[in-house]
Chain A
Amino acid sequence: MSSEIFVWPFNLGLYFILIYSVVRSTVWFRNLSRPDKLRLQRGFFGIPFMQSIKEIFMESLLHRRIFKKNFVLGYMHMSLAFGWFLLIVFGTIEADFFGEKHLNPPSHAIFFRAFNPDHGAVGLARAYTHLMDFLLAFILSGLLLAVIKRFIPSMMGMKKTTKHTWSDRTALLSLWLIFPSRLLAESFTCGTYGSGGFLTGNLGAALASFLPAAEIAPWFWWLYSLALGTFFFLLPVTRYFHIPIELLLIFMRNSGITTGDKSSSYTEVQTHACSSCGVCIGVCQMSYAAGINDIQSAYFIKGLRSDRDIAAITANCLMCGRCEEACPVGIELGPMRLIERRQGERPDTAKRFLERYSLTGRRSTIERESTQSYGYLVREEAESADVLFFAGCMTHLTPSVISAMKKIMESAGVRYRFMDEQGGVCCGRPLMLAGRDREARELINHNSDIIWKSGARILVTSCPICYKIFRESYYLEARVMHHSEFINLLIEEGSLRLGYLHRKVVYHDPCELGRGSGIYEEPRAVISYVAELQAVPEEGTMSLCCGGSLGNLTLSSGKRALIAADAARSLTMSSPDELITACPLCKKTFGQATGTRVSDIAELVAAALPKPVKKSRGRPARVTTKSLNHG
């Protein structure tokens, strides 16, 4: 029987995908930076390896994260992945234990029934056959859900699902065919020989009662082998490539490799580890609030994979980070998009191909031209201060936030200097979000100089956009604090005396402060101290974007307004007296989108100050006039 040629489609496919995976992994490994190579090597022989094995078991086989989000979807993934895994493991044991000899080629386990048609009539072998039938039934139940999901996504609690390419469709069809054809092949064989477990045995007997089982069986064994072979061959060009690649991703991530700011093997691995599950589409506000359905991370990654020009997709994103938070594979979608923005336009594939193999060996991406220069910036003399307050460009557009901060700091007796009172220079984050790192660096150097010279111990900013870049891309001695953290510190220190406002308020987490910088608790502590804070539907890590994001320079005002209105509706569902945020941009955006009063956290706290500070004609009481006479 070992000369049966029907196993060859399977064999070829299997050997192809194994060799392909090894070669691809080797290339990726070679292209890793030296530190990342070391990380990976160290990771393979230490605790990270065990972590990875555990994570693979929990996520790639059991799909714990998907289970948490959606039980039926989790069951579907688990039955297919874990069921198939067990079928292979137990099939290999079966072939090894009950077969003619030990250490069989893989095909012997996969096609065990074809080679041992009358096996499993009595005793332990019979019990084992029942087990194998049970596993097959387990997988088939998952497959049934998968078919339902494809045609009626809403039945599985899916809002949106990704569109398939032709290769995806063919691979999907072959994947769907694998298990039903195995069922029928085994059943017809068992029907012929009167063997089999509760599923294949009974179904086989029933089919054999009116069909020529012996003649039909080989056809289904062929179909089974072809389906497997086709699936393996197509794997590298389909979304299903994520199945093997995710394992590699888990190893790399647990070894401590991160996306960084340049395209690398790791970004490529992440690109291929995306399963196009569509979770990112479901959580994207641009999709459900503004009706834009072609720019979500799944499509962005698909574009990266297919090497198309995706500049428009790359640019059209709020960079709010909700999809990254929701991604079941844990792909670093924000950094991936930023890398692509930095690269600028991609030449089309044909041009890239020519360039890659041409003798001149030009780079395949167009280098961004950089003509901007900030030579005209005036270097200001820095005055020393304990606390340096940097309002930021956006806060200058909401002067009420500035005056509230002044009142608060004066009331607490803070010796501070207002760094950009007479107008300052941008922090650089908007340029960075647009992929213009070099220009951003010039601004960073300019501001760093002022901050260093001031000798301040604390740098306070009212803008989460500035806050994020101060923390991440500035090299500073001063402790960087968002004003919500700073006010919280003042309250904890006891230097701020505040009354209690009898107002019901809700809090909106700004993207750059919450997901971007992990500041969730301090603003809530401050608000709860002065008012009654109510819960909102989506908060914390899954809080909504206001729609005003600087991360997107292509979105129209109309679409932004739709996103803002939708987010405002969700936030004000409990009809609060006030909507509190901690970002001047969110404040401005929501101000146009809702009838509810929108305030910054600083304004709320300033309203709770015991008695209004005597109107001082704009002259802050505790700031030395010396420090302000400049400019």
Chain B
Amino acid sequence: MKGASKHVIVAGGGVAGMEAAGSLAEMGYRVTLIEKGQDPGGHLLQWHALFPDRRPAEEVRGYLRKRLNHENISVITSTVVEKIRHHGHDVIVNLSGGTEERADAVIVATGFDLFDAHRKEEYGYGIYDNVITAAELEEMFSMGKVAKADGTLPSRVGFVHCVGSRDEKVSNNHCSKVCCVTAVKQAIEVRKMLPACEVFCFYMDMRMYGPYYEELYRESQEVHNINYIRGKVSEASVNISNRLVIKVEDTLAGRPLKMEVDLMVLMVGMEMSKQGAGLAVASGLETGVNRFLETGDHHYGNNVSRMKGVFYAGTCTAPMNITDTISHARAAVTETVRYLNGR
């Protein structure tokens, strides 16, 4: 086969990395997937169900695992790519542990990190027991029980949107795109699991950009009675009965509002991953003002780096949902193959 001798390294074994590796292997390229965790899967491993149809995340995980199960793919886990450099026509990657791998091309798919909610101290994450992140709520869904720290059931849950997104004060001006619809999905799940529980979402804008997102948002209000309050939460505290008190300005009603909740869910946004940022600095890859990897062209070169033979896939370039990540990974494969054929 034409590509059999060609070797591509995929840095990162999340959704983008798995899809890219699968596609390349299918076309006959030899692929080495480098994953920092113990298993490939990335953030999807922690997810219980996916928007907009609330299908089990396991279905997508299963698809990706099947993609990876190919004779042309070898997977190296518990390892990170530390540096990418050129040596003649080859691309050499330095791996943690001091080893080197040679390849004809590299696809960077280092993904994102969730925003560290400790950085918004005013929301009390790590200080108050019942302040959790969206990822932690998702784990509760997987366990099959949404409860407060003391094990009792919440009677009112508040979702705080845009935690670490669209927030100049934490140097993140970008929108993380997926948190709005994640909140809608999770709000519905809370209501389904705890029919007696009230649910409030505190938002700046509801950005329902994808197919069936708007429908889900409508359903959440019409069928599930979820309340939406437009206003950014300024701070949280606890009162005498250890309930959380949220302070927010209701900008539609034009008045300040204080509300007690039992559980506060922080919709933490996406940031460039620390590992990806380190790789970019070590390898001289350009990053943008949002700290994500800067692509060759925003419109027609969105998988291309400015280093020959190095391509980008997925959320290392910008926040995106799973659908877009898979498409982006396939596009990265197209660019890689075009490069390898033209060399």
Contacts and interface: CB of A to CB of B under 8 A. Distances in A.
B320 to A, nearest CB: 25
Interface string A387-408: 0000000001111101100000
B235 A396 contact: yes
B122 A396 contact: yes
Of the listed residues A619, A625, A629, the one surrounded by the most CB atoms of chain B closer than 10 A to its CB is: A619
28 contacts: A396-B237, A397-B122, A398-B121, A398-B122, A399-B121, A399-B122, A399-B237, A400-B121, A400-B127, A403-B127, A421-B237, A422-B239, A423-B245, A423-B247, A423-B258, A557-B169, A561-B171, A591-B119, A592-B119, A592-B169, A592-B171, A618-B128, A618-B239, A618-B242, A619-B240, A625-B240, A628-B240, A629-B240
Interface in B232-265: 234-240, 242, 245, 247, 258
Interface in A408-430: 421-423
A398 B238 CA distance: 13
Contacts of B234: 397
Contacts of B121: 397-400, 588, 591
A141 B245 CA distance: 71
A240 B127 CA distance: 59
Nearest to B131: A399
Interface residues of A, number: 21
Question: What bracket does the count of chain B residues touching chain A fall in?
Answer: 20 to 34
Contacts of A592: 119, 169-171
Contacts of B239: 421-422, 618
A591 B122 CA distance: 12
A397 B235 contact: yes
Nearest to B167: A557
A617 interface: yes
Interface string A609-625: 00000000111000001
B247 A619 contact: no
B222 to A, nearest CB: 34
B128 A399 contact: yes
Contacts of B242: 617-619
B152 to A, nearest CB: 12
Contacts, number: 52
Nearest to A397: B122
Nearest to B126: A400
Of the listed residues A561, A618, A629, the one surrounded by the most CB atoms of chain B closer than 10 A to its CB is: A618
A210 to B, nearest CB: 68
B290 to A, nearest CB: 13
A618 B127 contact: no
Interface of B: 119, 121-122, 124, 127-128, 168-171, 234-240, 242, 245, 247, 258
Q: Which 9 residue pairs spanning A and B have beta carbons closest together?
A: A397-B122, A557-B168, A618-B238, A618-B242, A617-B242, A399-B124, A399-B127, A628-B240, A396-B235
Nearest to A398: B121
Interface in A587-616: 588, 591-592
A628 B333 CA distance: 63
Given A397-B121, A397-B122, A400-B127, 7 more contacts: A397-B235, A421-B239, A422-B239, A423-B237, A557-B169, A588-B121, A591-B121
Contacts of A561: 171
A629 B239 CA distance: 10
Contacts of A396: 122, 235, 237
B174 to A, nearest CB: 14
B162 to A, nearest CB: 16
A366 to B, nearest CB: 28
A592 to B, nearest CB: 6
Contacts of B245: 422-423
A619 B241 CA distance: 8
Of the listed residues B122, B128, B240, B258, the one surrounded by the most CB atoms of chain A closer than 10 A to its CB is: B240
B200 to A, nearest CB: 18
A79 B157 CA distance: 75
Contacts of A619: 240, 242
A587 to B, nearest CB: 8
Contacts of A625: 240
B289 to A, nearest CB: 9
A478 to B, nearest CB: 24
Nearest to B236: A399
Nearest to A589: B169
A398 B120 CA distance: 9
A422 B127 CA distance: 17
A396 to B, nearest CB: 5
A422 B256 CA distance: 14
A316 to B, nearest CB: 18
Contacts of A588: 121
Contacts of B119: 591-592
Contacts of A398: 121-122
Of the listed residues B119, B238, B247, B258, the one surrounded by the most CB atoms of chain A closer than 10 A to its CB is: B238
Nearest to A584: B121
A418 to B, nearest CB: 11
A625 B239 CA distance: 11
Given A399-B122, A400-B127, A618 B171 contact: no
B180 to A, nearest CB: 23
Nearest to A619: B240
Nearest to A403: B127
Interface string A195-235: 00000000000000000000000000000000000000000
Contacts of B124: 399
B285 to A, nearest CB: 22
